[in-house]
Amino acid sequence: MKRILTIAILAASFAHADEPYCTDTDVKEWESQVSATPYDAGLQMLHALWIGLCQKVESGNLDRDVANVIFEKQRHALIEERMMKNRRTLEGI
C-alpha cells in the first residue's frame, strides 16, 4: 500500500503555463523517491517517462497538456495494477 501512496503523491508537479515544466524541486523529489526504492520497476519507469516528458516540453517538442495526459495515464495504470495486486493478495489468490 505504501508504494501505491508514493505513486499517488508523485503526480508530476506540473507547473502552470508560465513556469518551467520541471523544476529543481521536482527533480529532487523524484531522485529522493527513486533512490529510496531502487528496485521498484514501476516507479523507475514513471521516473524515466517523466524525464523524457520534461525534455520534450522544455525543448518545445511536446505541449505540456499532452505531456500531462501521457504521464497521468501511465501513473493511473500503475496505481490500478498495484491495487489489483494488493486485492488479489488480500483475497489469497
Q: How confident is the model at residue 27 (pLDDT cuts 50, 70, 90)?
A: confident
Report residue 7 as a C-alpha cell. Answer: 505513486
pLDDT at 12 over 50: no
pTM of the model: 0.75
CA distance 4 to 89: 14
Q: How confident is the model at residue 2 (pLDDT cuts 50, 70, 90)?
A: low
Mean pLDDT of 5-32: 68
Sorted by sequence, the CB contacts under 8 Å of residue 62 that are 6+ apart come out as 53, 56
Residue 82's domain comprises: 2-9+17-91
Length of the chain: 93
How far is Cα of residue 51 from the mean position of the Cα atoms in its chain? 10
Nearest to 3 by CA among 54, 28, 38, 53: 38
Task: Note whether 73 and 14 are within 8 A (CB).
Answer: no
Q: How confident is the model at residue 20 (pLDDT cuts 50, 70, 90)?
A: confident
Number of domains in the chain: 1
Whole-number percent of the chain with pLDDT over 90: 52
